[in-house]
Amino acid sequence: MTFSYETLGNSSYLVATFENGKGIINYQLQMLANNDIKNILKVSKRQKNDDILVSYNITSKLALSQMTAKSKIPKAGIIKIIEGALNAIDDIAEYQLVSSGMVFDEDYIFIKPGTYEPSFVYLPNSTADDGIEGLKKFLLSLIMGSKVEISNDNFIQVLLETLNKPALTAKDLRKICANTNQSAASNVEVKREVVEKRKPEVINPIPQRQPEQHQIVQEEQIEVASRPNIPTSIKQGIPEDKKAAKKKEKTEKKSSSPNKTKFVIFQIVFLAVVIAIVCSGVLNNAEGKIEVKYLAGVLMAVACADFVLYRELFVNNKDKEEKSDKTKKNDKSKKATNKPMAMPGKGKPSMPNIPGKNANVVSAPSKNNIPIKKEVPVANKVVQEPVASAVQNTVPQAAYVPPTPAYNAPISDFESEDTVVLDDVNSNEAYLEYFENGLSTKIKINKESIIVGKLRGQCDFALNNNKISKIHAEFIMRNGEYFVKDYNSTNGTYINGSNQRIQSNTEYPIFNGDRITLANVDLTFRC
């Protein structure tokens, strides 16, 4: 029996070939093909000449040996593997399968990236049942080979002691996993309690000492002098337009409430009139029955009167209020524009802040609109250049800077050309280049193995694309040659636009200028 890899469509398979069908147990093969067993790879069977090919679907899964080649198995990962193996051993017993058929080998245990959920290969050629002996040897080989990450607690030590028991049972291993999970949950609760205890208590702020009254007055005068006039509504933190809108809503509610009352009263009156007319017998015909056309005419008249009343109370009244508001606003704007402007020689002129003359006087209106002068010492400055009168009336002299003549440098021969972008990749280094949103990104191949996928924690370079598998492909550098290997990806890896995806877990040579496509992402190889 030999193993090989095969890719069909969007699926990757591990193929076990039984030459001439020797050693295969048919009822076990039928059980695997017809049932989905948790943590056991799905099986399909086909025959090629006299050989029987058993295919295991490993799409989007990685061999454990490929995972341990990049990093050690974390504590949570080894617990997942132990629990998955124990569950599989329990489940296969229900289908009359024996535990010795499970392959406990790093190359043929396939892991779901990111979760360490294991899937095992079952070979339908075993008759003996050795319990968990195969799992015990496999776990010891992982620990002794330093492929399990050592945690801060004594988990590895306890696991070793348990595995070395002469009469090891599945219950012992489950107990270790359960205790570890409970301790992890309790640690989370303890941390949460510590964080809640560390929350700062709300302490009443210490009342600050109030400044004296004359200091407050001086500060207000200086602040008023240094800021423009602001509407009172904005000073109070409410925009003027919002305040006006609120007033308008209140007035509309007040005006609409009596109108609603009037409208309801008229409705009651109309209803009473209709009832009185019907009861009086005016609408009856010769037979004493109510004539429908007369009743319809009365109702039409009442409806017309109702419509006229509604428009008069609500629509026309609202239009009148809007017109009155517009006229009031126009009157205010006219009054503001008709205010006389300050002429030279009349009233108090606004003097610019010129050093040495009036910079030491700051006039500010107080609360009673009485100008108050405050002496502010200012260092004397010498003005060497005269300032234009127009500038003096608008800008203080200290803020004015005379324009400096521009220096017309000679035009260089390179100014009309585009800027050359410096490349951060050395010419001797190989790299992969791809474009994302119009921007070029380069992936350096500066070590023996570069793994590309979308799982950031286990890839050297992560691509933000949902068509890419979690661990999609590997780029290998060996003795100056470069190769690409697909890692059982769902959407495949292609070279130079070929419609045929490359076989998974097989190295393909790549050369300068080759285009490698991962799902729908094009990478150009440069070396």
Task: Report yes or no on whether pTM surpasses 0.85.
Answer: no
Segment 193-213 shows an average pLDDT of 54
- Strands 430-436 and 449-453 turn out to be unpaired
Residue 89 has pLDDT above 90, yes or no: yes
Tell me if 338 is assigned to some domain.
no
Regarding whether 20 and 156 lie in a shared domain, the answer is yes
Regarding whether 272 and 182 lie in a shared domain, the answer is no
Q: Kindly report the average pLDDT of the chain as a whole number.
A: 76
Confidence of residue 227 (pLDDT cuts 50, 70, 90): low
Segment 167-185 shows an average pLDDT of 84
Q: Which is nearest to 501 in space by CA: 20, 32, 26, 59?
A: 59
141-150, 322-331, 438-447: least confidently modelled range: 322-331
Confidence of residue 226 (pLDDT cuts 50, 70, 90): low
Regarding whether 119 and 262 lie in a shared domain, the answer is no
Residue 423 has pLDDT above 50, yes or no: no
Regarding whether 273 and 161 lie in a shared domain, the answer is no
With residue 224 as reference, give the H or E element that holds it: helix 213-225
Q: Looking at residue 150, what is its pLDDT?
A: 87
Tell me if 440 is assigned to some domain.
yes
Regarding whether 174 and 44 lie in a shared domain, the answer is yes
Regarding whether 299 and 150 lie in a shared domain, the answer is no
Q: List, in order, residues 6 or more apart from 228 with CB less than 8 Å away.
A: none
Tell me if 70 is assigned to some domain.
yes
CATH number of domain containing 138 = 1.10.510.10
Three-state secondary-structure class, residue 433: strand
| End residue of a domain, out of 261, 292, 324 | 324
Tell me if 309 is assigned to some domain.
yes
- Strands 449-453 and 461-462 turn out to be parallel
| End residue of a domain, out of 164, 191, 218 | 191
Q: Looking at residue 416, what is its pLDDT?
A: 42
Q: Looking at residue 456, what is its pLDDT?
A: 86
Q: Looking at residue 286, what is its pLDDT?
A: 72
261-275, 325-339, 383-397, 464-478: least confidently modelled range: 383-397
Tell me if 73 is assigned to some domain.
yes
Which tens digit of pLDDT belongs to each residue from 371-392?
A: 444 444 444 444 444 444 444 4
Tell me if 413 is assigned to some domain.
no
Residue 420 has pLDDT above 60, yes or no: no
Q: List, in order, residues 6 or more apart from 366 with CB less than 8 Å away.
A: 217, 220, 221, 224, 372
**Within 13 A of 6's CA, how many CA atoms are on the CB side?**
14
Specify the number of domains making up the chain. Answer: 3
Q: Which range of residues forms the domain containing residue 456? A: 430-526
Regarding whether 260 and 178 lie in a shared domain, the answer is no
Regarding whether 106 and 22 lie in a shared domain, the answer is yes
Regarding whether 294 and 180 lie in a shared domain, the answer is no
Regarding whether 275 and 181 lie in a shared domain, the answer is no
Residue 495 has pLDDT above 90, yes or no: yes
Confidence of residue 172 (pLDDT cuts 50, 70, 90): very high
| End residue of a domain, out of 145, 176, 191 | 191
Tell me if 243 is assigned to some domain.
no
Confidence of residue 415 (pLDDT cuts 50, 70, 90): very low
Regarding whether 262 and 178 lie in a shared domain, the answer is no
Regarding whether 153 and 11 lie in a shared domain, the answer is yes
Tell me if 347 is assigned to some domain.
no
Which tens digit of pLDDT belongs to each residue from 278-318?
A: 787 777 777 777 777 778 887 888 788 877 777 777 777 66
CATH number of domain containing 506 = 2.60.200.20
Whether 432 and 525 have beta carbons less than 8 Å apart is answered as: yes
The token pair that represents 160 in the structure block: 């070793």
